[in-house]
Amino acid sequence: MQLDAGCWQDMAEHGLFQKAEDLLTSAADLEEKKVGQTERYATLMHALGALYDFRSNVDVTGQQQMLSLKSAKFAERAVKVLHALVAKAINDQIMGVTDGATAQDGNRLSDQLAKSLLMRGKSLCNTALDGSPSLEMTAESAFDDAERDVKDAAAIREKLRHSQLAEAVMAVGYVYYCRACRVLNSPDADSVVGQIDYMEQNYTMALEHYKRSLQMYIERVGNEHADSIRMRCNIALVYNVMSRMPCEKRMEYIVEAEEQYREVLKTQEKVFGKRHQRTQRLEIDLQNIEERKAQM
- Among the listed residues 168, 172, 153, the one whose alpha carbon sits nearest the alpha carbon of residue 113: 153
**Domain-by-domain residue ranges, the chain?**
1-131, 163-296
pLDDT digits 0-9 by tens, 16-51? 999 999 999 999 999 999 999 999 999 999 999 999
Torsion of CA 192, 195, 197, 202, to 10 degrees: -80
Rounded to 5 degrees, what are φ and ψ at 249? -90, 10
CA distance 261 to 33: 54
Helix (H) or strand (E) holding 140, with range, is helix 139-160
CA distance 55 to 185: 23
Cβ pair 175, 150 in contact under 8 A: yes
Q: Which fold has domain 163-296?
A: 1.25.40
Helix (H) or strand (E) holding 266, with range, is helix 250-272
Residue 97 is predicted with a pLDDT of: 65
Longest dimension (CA), the chain: 69
CA angle, residues 65, 69, 70, in degrees to nearest 5: 120
CA distance 219 to 29: 44
DSSP state of 245: S
Cβ pair 160, 110 in contact under 8 A: yes
**How crowded is residue 198: how many other Cβ atoms within 10 Å of its Cβ?**
12
DSSP string, 48-107: HHHHHHHHHHH--SS-HHHHHHHHHHHHHHHHHHHHHHHHHHHHHHHHT---HHHHHHHH
HSE, CB side, 13 Å, CA atoms: give it for residue 170.
Answer: 19
Q: What is the pTM of this model?
A: 0.92
HSE, CB side, 13 Å, CA atoms: give it for residue 39.
Answer: 14
Residues of the chain with pLDDT under 70: 1, 96-103, 131-136
Residue 290 is predicted with a pLDDT of: 94
Residue 121 is predicted with a pLDDT of: 97
pLDDT digits 0-9 by tens, 155-188? 999 999 999 999 999 999 999 999 999 999 988 8
Residue 145 is predicted with a pLDDT of: 96
- What are the DSSP E strand ranges found in 101-140? none
